Amino acid sequence: MTSFTKTPGWLDWYANPSKPRFKLPVGSVDAHCHVFGPGDEFPFAPERKYTPCDASKAQLFALRDHLGFARNVIVQATCHGADNRAMVDACKASGGKARGVATVRRDISDAQLQELHDAGVRGVRFNFVKRLVDFTPKDELMEIAGRIAKLGWHVVIYFEAVDLPELWDFFTSLPTTVVVDHMGRPDVTKGVNSEEFALFLKFMREHPNVWSKVSCPERLSVTGPEALNGEQNAYQDVAPFARHVVEQFPDRVLWGTDWPHPNLKNHMPDDGLLVDFIEHIAPTPELQRKLLVDNPMRLYWPEEVRG
Ligand SMILES: O=C(O)c1cc(C(=O)O)oc(=O)c1
């Protein structure tokens, strides 16, 4: 029995997901997923903004195998704050099949950074979504970015589209590869030709060090239909956004399930059907291979990539 009480209304991850119809390329990477606790083993952080259900490494690895992925990139979830133990434990237990993205504070020592590196961490996450984290001063983040750059790591940024103008100067002065979570959370009701999305595309076009995860249609969608009950055309309002980014920047996109899908309010998607969504955003075998294999391998397992 866990000693934590979930946030009221919390939706647990979908049990018994379907087998995807879409056949993932060999060596595909789920490049955005999390572990939650288990809370009794790896307590959630006191400063967290939500308390989730447990989602263990064994459950993540079972999902990986069921869906047909070869590897995972485990991103530190905000409910664990800067306590990376659950994520690090999962990376170490994966037998080299998982790499990690950590959250660190400026007081982390060089030796601790090296320990994270040895466990498989290759990036840090800076979060600007106000419902998830308290504000961290930009000079602190820049100092961290300078230190992790020396390890060859990158910075993952999570923000809402409306905040991009204010964050632009900070983002464009980061000294590393910069990976945007969930396409910078566009408001899909504004349409793919909106000024807001144009700014995001400009951000990527003018800065070749910026990559994007084309993930989380279930989070961004307003009209669905939801990836449930065998739906093969889920999230039609999000697909044009993701497809646009994939086609414009085929060598700088990543895809992930976002399992166990923190903070969804309306529904919990069937992860098998989420995988089927990939064909709608990366319509050719070449785009699929880049999105799911070549790009994540280059970023997270460069030592295994020849040339
Ligand atoms: O939109 C979210 O609620 C969310 C939260 C987290 C996290 O708490 O780390 O991560 C995500 O990728 C998305």
Q: For residue 246, tell me if it sits in a domain.
A: yes
pTM confidence score: 0.97
| Contact in structure between 44 and 76 (CB atoms under 8 Å) | no
Q: How confident is the model at residue 105, as a pLDDT?
A: 97
Cis peptide before 52 (omega within 30 of 0): no
Closest ligand 1 atom to 181 CA: 12
Residues in Cβ contact with 289 at an 8 Å cutoff, skipping those fewer than 6 apart: 25
Q: For residue 243, tell me if it sits in a domain.
A: yes
| Contact in structure between 31 and 65 (CB atoms under 8 Å) | no
| Contact in structure between 108 and 81 (CB atoms under 8 Å) | no
Nearest CA to ligand 1 atom 4: 262
Give the residue numbers spanning the domain of 295.
29-301
At 3, is the pLDDT very low, low, confident or very high (cuts 50, 70, 90)? Answer: confident
Q: For residue 217, tell me if it sits in a domain.
A: yes
Q: How far is the CA of 306 from the centre of ligand 1 (A)?
A: 33
Supply the mean pLDDT for the chain: 97
Beta bridge partners of 158: 127
Q: For residue 226, tell me if it sits in a domain.
A: yes
Nearest CA to ligand 1 atom 8: 78
Q: For residue 121, tell me if it sits in a domain.
A: yes
Q: How confident is the model at residue 305, as a pLDDT?
A: 93
Q: For residue 11, tell me if it sits in a domain.
A: no
Q: For residue 20, tell me if it sits in a domain.
A: no
CATH number at residue 49: 3.20.20.140
pLDDT at 84 over 70: yes
Share of the chain above pLDDT 90, in %: 98
Closest ligand 1 atom to 77 CA: 9
Q: How far is the CA of 279 from the centre of ligand 1 (A)?
A: 24
Q: How far is the CA of 307 from the centre of ligand 1 (A)?
A: 35
**How many other C-beta atoms lie within 10 A of the C-beta of residue 105?**
10
Residues noted as catalytic: 258
List residues near ligand 1 (CB under 6 A).
77-79, 132, 181, 219, 258, 262-263
Structure tokens at 208: 């070749």
Bridging pattern class, strands 121-127 and 98-102: parallel
